[in-house]
Amino acid sequence: MTNMKHSRRNYSRVLLLASALVVGFVAPAMAYDPPRPSNADLVSMLNAQLAPSTRPAYYRDSSSGRRFLFDRTGPHALLKYEDEDEVFALRASNGPRGDQFYRTDTGRVFLRVTELGNVIVFPFGDRHGAPTTLDATSNAIIPPPHPTDFKEALRQVSSNLAETLGEAPRISVDKALSDYADWTMEAVQTASIGVELAKKYANVDLRSISLKQGDAARLSIQGTSLSIVIAPADGFAGRPSSEAIAKAYVSLQ
């Protein structure tokens, strides 16, 4: 009987610790790579037991309160913030203690999923990381829709970039992409987000954007021209992310 009482008290302490971490935990700062093992691994123990292993789900960043959809049903894990348009294609790698790290195409860690199933998010510019809570299950992230008027959609993106750059860049699309208007437009819109992000950290002199089809996502900057290669068959992973485009411009400074 005494052992049972001790066991119950220990279990209660674990639950209290998990609750306290959900309310007020702040992960320690880290230099470059994912944070070292910390108490963040204990965030929401009970919630982690209920979390789906592969079913898409919304998670809430306990630091900012923002929600994002995390979808692991396809060949690449996908992440989309509820208040943003971009879908990030993440590549998984195994870490110590059974953890999994999900990185953008720049190599930056965006998510860490612990062996317990807890999800720790690292938004752009945040190396501290924040624990998350499972908010709701969801459907998988779907491919982008076909634009009703492709040329008009391109003009709209160019016009929006003019507000950022001071002038509208010319956008050209290779004929080989004519059957992939959906993924081409998604790549153009993502490039626009990347240019706007780059503008916050670097001087961006952009006069033209060209898109071609290839076997893998690539980008290059030559003078005032941004060239993007997209691989429609790879879906969201078949074009450079906004972070990759911004990083390319920053590296030129």
Per-residue model confidence as pLDDT tens digits over 223-234: 999 999 999 999
Task: Please give the model's pTM, rounded to 2 decimal places.
Answer: 0.78
Report the C-alpha gap between 183 and 241 in whole angstroms: 13
Q: What pLDDT, on a 0 to 100 scale, did the predictor assign at position 26?
A: 37
From first to last of its 253 residues, what are the pLDDT tens digits of the chain? 544 444 444 444 434 434 433 333 333 333 334 344 444 444 334 344 444 457 999 999 999 999 999 999 999 999 999 999 999 999 999 998 899 999 999 999 999 999 999 999 999 888 889 999 999 999 999 999 999 999 999 999 999 999 999 999 999 999 999 999 999 999 999 999 999 999 999 999 999 999 999 999 999 999 999 999 999 999 999 999 999 999 999 999 8
What are the structure tokens assigned to 38, written together? 């910390």
State the DSSP string of the chain: -HHHHHHHHHHHHHHHHHHHHHHH--PPP-SSSSPPS-GGGGTTHHHHHHS-SSS-EEEEETTT--EEEEE-SSSSEEEEETT----EEEEEEE-GGG-EEEE-TTS-EEEEE-TT--EEE--TT-SS-EEEEEEEE-PPPPPPPPPSSHHHHHHHHHHHHHHHHSSPPEEEE-GGGTT-HHHHHHHHHHHHHHHHHHHTTS-----EEEEEE-SS-EEEEETTEEEEEE-GGGGGGGS--HHHHHHHHHTT-
Report the C-alpha gap between 151 and 144 in whole angstroms: 16
Report the C-alpha gap between 109 and 181 in whole angstroms: 30
Q: What pLDDT, on a 0 to 100 scale, did the predictor assign at position 118?
A: 93
Question: Of 132, 117, 110, nearest to 53 (Cα)?
Answer: 117
